[in-house]
Amino acid sequence: MLIRTSNLNVVAKAFFPASRNYLFNPRDEAIHRLNTWNFSTKDQKLVLSLLDEWYTGRTLNTVLEEWEKVGIASLRNQNEYIKILCYNVEGWGTRAVEAIDLVYKVQASICIFTEVGELWNTCRLPHFNTFYQKGTNKNGGVCIAVGKHLKATRIEVSIPNTVIIDITGLSEPVRIIGIYWPTSQQRDLDEIQPFVIE
């Protein structure tokens, strides 16, 4: 024979000191506290949507998976402008610090530097991948520097003073063609025509 030792219901909520207005429902309690603390309606809706997801999720993993999906979707829809800087350096060896300072002031994601000269590699642009093409004289040459947050691929060409880069992973691919055209050089623009995309 079983002897009853307690009058408590087995499905009763755990006892803890409750506020005077405790409503025994976490969602209702949250609404009450948000009102008491004068949260804006917008903030209240946000908190309630999170609580609804939390209490309707079967496991912690399913809740986290739902939240990750929302984060990925919002990133896909996010527009970000890409700033492109084109600058005739007139000798990287003496103007590198000035050029790097300009890049960070304008917050450029892509930089095209012309007339970089033979000393183009003496001072690197931090957090950028650099693509270089030698010039036809000691002062010539062109570099395209692409921020490491972008995926850039070089298109191999044998055209002097010309670098061609494809940037992918954006809403649409972008092709950048950097050209240095010294006055002493005869150029035929038809050379780059096959690389121009619309």
Both 145 and 99 in a single domain? yes
Q: Is position 12 within any domain?
A: no
Is 135 a residue whose pLDDT tops 90? no
pLDDT at 1: 46
**Domain's final residue, options 45, 76, 107:** 76
**Residue 146 · residue 152 · CB < 8 Å:** yes
CA–CA distance, 83 with 75 (Å, rounded to integer): 19
Q: Say if strands 110-114 and 84-88 run parallel, antiparallel, or are unpaired.
A: parallel
Q: Is position 1 within any domain?
A: no
Three-state DSSP state, 110: strand
Greater pLDDT, 184 or 110: 110
CA–CA distance, 171 with 79 (Å, rounded to integer): 9
Both 149 and 184 in a single domain? yes
**Domain's final residue, options 76, 108, 136:** 76
Both 118 and 161 in a single domain? yes
CA–CA distance, 138 with 115 (Å, rounded to integer): 9
Both 37 and 102 in a single domain? no
- CA distances (Å), origin 184, targets 139, 140, 174, 193: 12, 11, 30, 22
Number of domains in the chain: 2
| 113 closest CA partner among 131, 138, 136 | 131
**Residue 108 · residue 85 · CB < 8 Å:** yes
Greater pLDDT, 122 or 109: 109
Three-state DSSP state, 142: strand
Both 99 and 124 in a single domain? yes
User: Could you tell me the CATH number of the domain that includes residue 106?
Assistant: 3.60.10.10
Both 35 and 69 in a single domain? yes
pLDDT in tens, 147-172: 988 899 999 988 888 899 999 888 88
Q: Which of 77-81, 124-128, 159-163, 179-183 has the lowest mean pLDDT?
A: 77-81
Both 142 and 183 in a single domain? yes
Confidence of residue 124 (pLDDT cuts 50, 70, 90): confident
Q: What percent of the chain has pLDDT over 90?
A: 14
Q: Is position 21 within any domain?
A: no
Both 49 and 143 in a single domain? no
pLDDT at 33: 83
Q: How much is the pTM? A: 0.58
- CA distances (Å), origin 112, targets 86, 100, 163: 5, 12, 9
Q: Is position 120 within any domain?
A: yes
Both 61 and 149 in a single domain? no
Mean pLDDT of all residues in 90-100? 85
Q: Which domain holds residue 179?
A: 84-195
**Residue 168 · residue 178 · CB < 8 Å:** no
DSSP 11: T
Both 59 and 118 in a single domain? no
Both 147 and 65 in a single domain? no
At position 82, the amino acid (one-letter code) is I
| 110 closest CA partner among 96, 125, 95 | 125
Greater pLDDT, 112 or 6: 112
**Residue 54 · residue 62 · CB < 8 Å:** no
Both 49 and 118 in a single domain? no
Q: Is position 138 within any domain?
A: yes
